[in-house]
């Protein structure tokens, strides 16, 4: 995700409600974000 220009947002990480507690390694999900400004800049540079 970092190679795509996204950055982690630890404050928004969450436990997936459909993954049972018996699978702790899969339960936690990390949220990455890309700002609209960065997306537009990358789109313009690419094309």
pLDDT at 34: 94
Q: Which has the closest alpha carbon to 28: 18, 43, 42, 13?
A: 13
Distance CA 3, CA 17 (A): 28
Residues of the domain holding 19:
2-46
pTM as predicted: 0.66
Domains in the chain: how many in total?
1
pLDDT at 4: 86
pLDDT in tens, 6-47: 999 999 999 999 999 999 999 999 999 999 999 999 889 987
Alpha-carbon dihedral sign for residues 5, 10, 11, 12: positive
SS3 37: helix
Distance CA 15, CA 27 (A): 5
């Amino acid at each position: 995700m970092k190679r795509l220009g996204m950055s982690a947002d630890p404050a928004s990480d969450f436990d997936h409600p459909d993954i049972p507690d018996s699978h702790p390694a899969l339960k936690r999900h990390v949220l990455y974000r890309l700002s609209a400004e960065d997306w537009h800049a990358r789109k313009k540079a690419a094309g």
